[in-house]
Structure 1
């Protein structure tokens, strides 16, 4: 049985940022699915020794890259039957991970990389020598580069990535209970509809427009779950939630059974992001029988249609308010979307994702 080394930098704290942590944790929770395909997953997460952590960003990044490669070479030297699966996203993390992939490949270890972003622009700031160099390294040394949407895959190919190595692998959901249509639908459809939002609290997620839409919406309450990730945004958010009183309830970060309980009781899942890769929260929403109100960001426009979702323009509070009003008024359409989504979600189980991987 081959070793599948899942490489990422584990980020602590209660946050939806770094959804790649959740993906890797789900992989490890489903080891038997990997073993059926001949792989034994394990996590490799490197941290700088405290004596080297000098708390100065640029120098810390250089030290981390050097020490991580040294540590990985020592741990995996001679492991030519292993597959090194690096999970990465943007900025200095991306640079370090591409250089690590080259080092592993030069040791004879097959390397795969999954890039968890919604746009190439979040990985590279503009053009330049560094971008061209990293894409050449990826094309030469990485066996397969996996993306969460065809759109981002195309952006990397146009930037020079070898098309034969670029693949799209959509995200998955991993909930504690299998989707039960009758049971889920029996929890929904009250006089007042319940909407839910899961994600980071920042401008790019469309939170400002979402709360502005709730100001002009009647017949809907909103549960918001997540942590602030933008400096200065929390004060505005707290003030707006206080103004909206009983219309909006902020739960902070939630997970596990509490999260699934909110999903089961919700009629609608909202995600008006400016940009996305393929948010797992939408898959959790459809598997829990929620209709979607979303923007056509990232993979969402590739995967969902008007049978699953009402699409709104990024940055438009008016579109969100109109979508909520339509679903409040047209309960037949709402129920059909909920039924369609429960059935459609069967294509995105963690088991099917692992088999495709």
Structure 2
């Protein structure tokens, strides 16, 4: 480990092992900030890992290893990716506090979580988080709304807004052809769990089938509810459903190129990398207004924000798209243009480096 290295935390960076937005943004940062030497510290559960005795022992081993690395290695700075969910707070807060205790410079990079906006943190959790966000350590958030939440709830002023970003070379080289006669291709890509709204998608597609709307649904990713929903969608849709598993590289790019609509009716989010990637390729996003997604999507301009009844509204949106294909073209072009204008990788790295330099 070099004396000028930055220790950055994330789950496995192997896309075959993990479907993780934090892993995606970490891969992006390491790949685009070649002037900085990073050391990855693996922290987080793999998709197929159960919370059992083996997992608890691995967490204990990880904690001991963290204390050894942070205390004994020459580290210029720690870039700690942190989600405001109960499991993440319980696992990660002690690690952050240990690093602070021994005087390490640390940046807290927040990536959504149900306690960021949707849930009110209990007293004991607020007590812990106030110490996590205390002192002069910078905090990175994904939107001005998140900046206000963190500043007001935890009384910290050193909060920087830095929305997630994605590589755009492939997307900029892609020219989408709109075939008004072809059926719609719908895509979900990410962690397959009920927290991502996968049941809303199931109910919406069930309704579309009853209305005899033609479509094909592609599901990619992995997660705790994978087996259940692969079976449910297979039984419901037959050949109109295709499960792709965990995808990366050319397989992932081709999925974006071949699909028309991106579905993510999630219960809570930060700013998903998959959303930004999908929009850059011209997929029309149909998503819930959670986390920072509501600051990216404007209904009727570059996508659809769902409201009270996600399943019903997804079905209605797809039915409308199938009947008015020019609408798809307009929203698609606006979605891609929005990403190209607002999510430049070079600007992202410059902004991140400024936070590093000021720490």
Q: Same fold (TM over 0.5)?
A: yes
Give secondary structure in 1 for the equivalent of 2:37.
strand
Tell me what 1:42 maps to. 39
Asked whether 1:235 is paired with 2:228, we answer yes
Aligned residue for 2:154, secondary structure, equals coil
Q: SS at 1:340's partner residue?
A: helix
The alignment partner of 2:269 has SS state of coil
Shift of 1:261: 0.3
Alignment of 1:147-296 (within 5 A): 147-162=141-156, 164-174=157-167, 177-180=170-173, 183-186=174-177, 189-217=180-208, 218-230=213-225, 234-235=227-228, 237-296=230-289
Query: Scaled by the length of structure 1, what TM-score is found?
Result: 0.82
1:125-151 CA-partner distances (Å, limit 9, x unpaired): 8412353133134212x5211122444
Alignment RMSD: 3.0
Q: Give 3-state SS (helix, strand or coil) of 2:286's partner.
A: strand
Structure 2 matches for 1:339-350, cutoff 5 A? 339-346=333-340, 347-350=342-345
1:112: Cα distance to partner?
0.5
1:97 is displaced (CA, Å) by 3.6
Greater CA drift, 242-251 or 271-280: 242-251
**Equivalent position SS for 2:263:** strand
In the TM superposition, what whole-angstrom CA distance separates every residue of 1:80-118 from its partner, at most 9, and x where no partner exists? xx2221112244543454444344445554211112223
* Cross-structure match for 2:111: 116
Deviates more, 1:2-11 or 1:276-285: 2-11
Q: In the aligned structure 1, how far is the partner of 2:348 from the partner of 2:289?
A: 22
- Provide, for residues 262-320 of structure 1, a one-character-per-residue CA deviation record: whole Å limited to 9, x for no partner: 10111111111122111111111111011111111111111221211112236531111
Describe how 1:11-90 pairs up with structure 2 within 5 A: 14=16, 17-32=19-34, 35=35, 39-45=36-42, 55=53, 61=59, 64-76=62-74, 79=75, 82-89=76-83, 90=85
What's the CA shift for 1:55?
A: 3.9
TM-score (norm 2): 0.82
Q: How many residues align?
A: 336
